[in-house]
Amino acid sequence: MNIQALLVERFQKAMIDIGAPADAPAPLTRSTKAGFGDYQFNGAMALAKSLKQKPRDIAEKLVEAVDVNDVAEKLEVAGPGFINIHLSAQWLAKQVEQTLADERLNVDTQTTQTMVVDYSSPNLAKEMHVGHLRSTIIGDSVAKVLEFMGHTVLRQNHMGDWGTQFGMLLAHLNDKLAHDEVAETALSDLEDFYREAKVRFDNEDGFADRARDYVVKLQGGDTDCLALWQQFIDVSITHSQDVYDKLGVSLTREHVMGESAYNPDLPSVISDLKDKGLLVEDQGAQVVFIDELADKEGKPAAYILQKSGGGYLYSTTDQAAIRYRREKLGATRTLIFTDARQALHFKQTELVARKADFIADNEVYQHCPFGMMLGKDGKPFKTRSGGTVKLVELLDEAIERAEKLISERDSDISDEERQDIAVKVGISAVKYADLSKNRTTDYIFDWDTMLSFEGNTAPYLQYAYTRVKSIFRKANVDIEAINADVVIAESQEKALAVKLLQYQEPIMQVASDATPHVLCTYIYELASLFMSFYEACPILKDGIDAEVRDSRLMLAALTAKTLKSGLDLLGIDTMEKM
Ligand code: ARG
């Protein structure tokens, strides 16, 4: 159920009735100030010209014409021609009852589509870094939201598992294995491994040549070399999987579709583009010139698909991936999560793929960029000594910090429970800090803020959830079984009910814009409204009528379910106590 859509529909009808053109916009927003109703319709002003009437008069006519008797208890014209809509308490009460009885909390499904969500996608020639952390966390939440909306979501971990960097790594791995080491130990610390290989590449006589030999052998399909490469990839993927498991994201090995998987398709990408007359040979390389992205002098952008030596590039693989996802996976929409520095690449990739008909007009290719993760000093996030931060260590630190924090609070939980809660709070804090910011901006990683029990943080929301749940424990009422009439009398009850019934709005927005922060903001506002409601409208106090108590318990039950549902979609754990 979508209140917004319902009201828009009713107003559109009224607009036609008073003579407005059929395509006139029907802007409806949520009222931001108390006393101005719950929603505001702002369409009268724009109609003044075509109807040759004063906006206020049009607004008056709309109020007469619109059929919202069931939904609204009052409409009032304000200012130059706004219409403030006060939703009906009775209607809201009925909706709360229905929503609580519905497993999907009355969120409608969309016309279902098959979608690819391409996220995490680390480069295996390097340790996974904080940029991939953002992609992993944000991508996972968007994938969950799309699934909740009824879509078939295919997760694709487009790992960077191919390329010239592997020559140096394989040469080094070969030597280590020759010294009787097994791959798991040789690669137990990938960071160290890369560093050693790089040092040898830069300093050791003959090593760079051997590294280049390995590249040639690898690309030529040499069996021994491929076996070595496979060992490297297997251990690397295991390292990534450790991070996914710690993070509690839904990625598994079966979602890995690395760059190498497209190797057999690359020659046909080139021939396809040639056949379509898009490729031009330029200094021995195969290039598509993109007029739409010309520079100031009018020189079109060059999108290279094959180097003069015959080597393929990141762009070639992406074209192959687009074809595969459409033809083999049947995807009609693709969302890709990488940092904003790749925005131009994806813009070019999309333009070329559309020209080549690899993407049809009605299909969507959506690059979802995000900003950088910065340290408290505003510089790119690094360890104290300036090194890259290892993700596993970062997550362990989060758990440690959460445990300390929880020990400081007095409660009756056992050591074992505390450890479990520390994991849930620590990991969630890191995830939520990332999810709750508008993804396109850089964000500052700050332990103290993300672990605070106040403000828009995971601990605050997890705590809010346990508080609602504890009311039911104290009342000795089964939250699953409660069924009573809802009566909305106090303003805090109404504010909470309206918010609860708006759950679909942020979800739809996340599904279209891939912006989980919209859902975070909603959950945070919901939790805050619940706290105000609980303060003003006691539930278990002596002297509260049974009907009032039960009605408020219904509101509390729907709050708990909505918080839980929203936090689940964000990948944030909830618990009964903390
Ligand atoms: N491996 C790339 C990186 O780390 C991200 C890949 C994103 N997906 C894609 N289809 N290009 O930057």
Ligand 1 centroid distance, CA of 140 (Å) = 15
CA of 160 to the centre of ligand 1 (A): 7
* Ligand 1 mutation target, pool 117, 121, 236, most atoms within 8 A of CB: 121
Q: What percent of the chain stands above pLDDT 70?
A: 100
Give 372's Cβ-side CA count (13 Å radius).
10
pTM of the model: 0.94
Atom 11, ligand 1: residue with shortest CA distance? 318
Kindly give the distance from the C-alpha atom of residue 308 to the centroid of ligand 1, in angstroms, as a whole number. Answer: 23
Helix (H, G, I), strand (E, B) or coil at 467: helix
Does ligand 1 come within 6 angstroms of the Cβ of 55? Answer: no
- The answer on pLDDT for 122 being more than 80 is yes
Cα-flanking dihedrals φ and ψ of residue 9, to 5°? -60, -45
Split at pLDDT 50, 70, 90, the class of 81 is very high
Q: Which helix (H) or strand (E) holds 212?
A: helix 207-219
Q: Is 336 in the pocket of ligand 1 (CB under 6 A)?
A: yes
Which residue's C-alpha comes closest to atom 9 of ligand 1?
A: 158
Test site for ligand 1: of 165, 314, 318, 342, most ligand atoms within 8 A of the Cβ: 342
Say yes or no: CB of residue 315 within 6 Å of ligand 1.
no
Distances (CA, A) of 19 to 13, 50, 58, 64, 412: 10, 9, 10, 14, 66
CA atoms within 13 A on the CB side of 328: 10
- At residue 412, the pLDDT reads 78
For 104-119, the pLDDT digits (tens) are 999 998 889 999 999 9
Tell me, in angstroms, the distance from the centre of ligand 1 to residue 119's CA: 8
Tokens encoding 150? 């009824």
- Confidence grade of residue 125 (pLDDT, cut at 50, 70, 90): confident
pLDDT at 131 over 80: no
Atom of ligand 1 nearest to the CA of 131: 4
Domains of the chain with CATH codes: 3-87 (3.30.1360.70), 165-249 (no CATH)
Q: Above 90 in pLDDT, residue 484?
A: yes
Q: Is 539 helix (H, G, I), strand (E, B) or coil?
A: coil
Distance 132 CA to ligand 1 centre (A): 9
337 CA from centroid of ligand 1 (Å): 8
339 lines ligand 1 (CB under 6 A): no
For residue 336, the ligand 1 atom closest to its alpha carbon is: 8
Q: Look at residue 49 and tell me whether its pLDDT is greater than 90.
A: no
To test the pocket of ligand 1, the residue of 129, 156, 158, 322 to mutate (highest count of ligand atoms within 8 Å of its CB) is: 158
Half-sphere exposure (CA, 13 Å, Cβ side) for 574?
21
Residue with CA closest to ligand 1 atom 5: 121
pLDDT tens per residue, range 319-364: 999 999 999 999 999 999 999 999 999 999 999 999 999 999 999 9
> Looking at residues 55-68, what average pLDDT do you find?
96
Q: What is the pLDDT of residue 66?
A: 96
pLDDT in tens, 405-443: 998 886 778 889 999 999 999 999 999 999 999 999 998
Give yes or no for residue 123 CB within 6 A of ligand 1.
Answer: yes
Q: Is 158 in the pocket of ligand 1 (CB under 6 A)?
A: yes
Give the CA-trace dihedral at 477, 480, 485, 490, to 10 degrees.
Answer: 70
Q: Give 351 Cα–ligand 1 centroid separation in angstroms.
A: 18
Tell me the best of 128, 166, 335, 338 to mutate to test the pocket of ligand 1, counting ligand atoms within 8 Å of each CB and taking the most.
Answer: 338
